[in-house]
A and B are shown apart, each in its own frame.
Chain A
Amino acid sequence: MSNTYTIPVGPLHVALEEPMYFQVDVKGEVVQSIEMFAGHSHRGMESLALERNFFQNIVLTERVCSLCSNNHPLTYCMALENIAQIQVPERGQYLRVIADEVKRIASHMFNVGIGLHVIGFNTLFMHAMEVRETMQDLKESIWGNRMDISANTIGGAKYDLDDELEAYLRKTLEELKKPVEEFKHMYATHPQVKARTKDVGILPPEAAIEYGLGGPVARGSGIDNDVRKETPYAAYDKLKFNVVLGEGCDVRSRALVRLGEIFESISLIEQCLDQMPKGPICCDPLPDIPAGQAVARSEAPRGELIYYMRTNGTMYPERLKWRVPTYVNWEGLRVMLDKAKVADIALIVNSIDPCLSCTER
């Protein structure tokens, strides 16, 4: 039993249907060290972005990743607006928040559901997907697509809500509260779920700070860090919400943070609907973009997303670079996977909500 083995985990479908390869040294069934290899889904997007004009890039950035497909174009547009000094109309800012939060609910529900699938609890996984399906129908009804909702454009939002859709949105959110509450209760109290997720993948708060982690991964370890709170963008400075924090520092704590954030998101959307003024949704539709550079950041479902953009006065960006939440979060896996059981590797990997198509792009 004292022998050490090296086993491969991945690269296909470690937790989510995304490729990442782990070379894991184990002693018995306990992980001793891991080596991570990425690069299986590189599509050359930063280069592709230079060949497309600013408007085409809204769509390109949306296709970087499907689960945070609203945050990418949003942050991209914010970077451009910083360069061109564009003021987004107030209604447009509220509409951006609504789109952002609906995507966040769907993304969190998906991640928690996949976590249950990984531990083999497929009944609750299917139930999570069914609860999430109301959000998918909502996206399809308001924005016209289940994943790539295409809600943003340079200078504002691309969609507007009429009275009928607003009533539909309110009704859907009201109807979502009870199933999510029940789901959260089941997740928190089910003995088998608890046995598989509690004290698994421990990430001490100090390690979270040392590795610079963000999003629900850091908040699950009690690190109060949320871009929406710290440097509010869009209409977040006018809205009230709590940063959901977890105490357990484990897989379960991170999942409960995500489930808690769903309620904050619902409340944020309801506040938006109450406060949203009438008026234009978008500024001058075809703005001139001068030469310059800018950085924008936002809170994607997985953590902090940063865009850097440099322009040269033409219709095409000179450099577009983004740093995605998973890029920092996966370094945290070294801490979480240390001394973990082999059987828990997929579960722990899923708990950082990895998005490799963002990271490798």
Chain B
Amino acid sequence: MVLSIFKVLWNNLKQGPSTDPFPFGETFTPARLRGKVAVDPEACVGCGVCATVCAGNAIKHVERGDGSGKDFYVWHNTCTFCGLCQHYCPTDAIRLTNNWSTAHRNEDKYKMKEHEFVAYARCPQCDQAMPNMPHAMLDHIYGAPTEELEAIYKLCPECRRQKAAQQFGAQIHD
């Protein structure tokens, strides 16, 4: 019916513009919007799965020469906001925020990156550097970790072997 077109037009007049008044007002930004990537260096184990699955090769892990840890780079201009890194991250260390503001001046293009330093943990016994093992990863692997595990998980592989052998030997003695 021709009449119903007029109904649509009348409703449009009543409603006003359908577009958001951006940049003079707020625009629709849902909580799940896939925007700029954020990294939590405390939770990162440095496994590199995010860099492997990253579609645009926007994620780089660079080992520091002094063995103190890894530099974690995410280049926003190469990122496709696909969310694969977030999906495959075992400890939820990398996630997409709903911050979509990526407009920048051309001279700032090499600053459009997320840079975090993922420090290696130190063995409390021998001070050996090794990849950080956050509690989240422990939960992910073992469910609820036992007391024995809590005692040894911060040690380096060598000290852990000795400690585990001692614990095992003590059990045999009993």
Contacts and interface: CB of A to CB of B under 8 A. Distances in A.
Given A52-B55, A144-B33, A59 B82 contact: yes
Interface in A118-165: 123-124, 127, 130, 133, 137, 140-145, 148, 150, 153, 158
A254 B55 CA distance: 37
Interface string A48-92: 000011011011101100000000000000000000000000000
A52 B80 CA distance: 15
Contacts of B4: 182, 185-186
A56 B53 contact: yes
B126 interface: no
A153 B28 CA distance: 27
Interface string A304-344: 00000000000000000000000000000000000000000
A195 interface: no
Interface residues of B, number: 29
A231 B170 CA distance: 62
A214 to B, nearest CB: 29
Interface residues of A, number: 33
A172 to B, nearest CB: 12
Contact of A190 (B2, B18, B52): B2
A62 B82 CA distance: 10
A286 interface: yes
A59 B80 contact: yes
A58 B34 contact: no
Contacts of A44: none
Given A55-B53, A145-B81, A140 B5 contact: no
Given A59-B82, A60-B55, A143 B1 contact: no
Interface string B1-13: 1101100110010
Interface of A: 52-53, 55-56, 58-60, 62-63, 123-124, 127, 130, 133, 137, 140-145, 148, 150, 153, 158, 182, 185-186, 189-191, 285-286
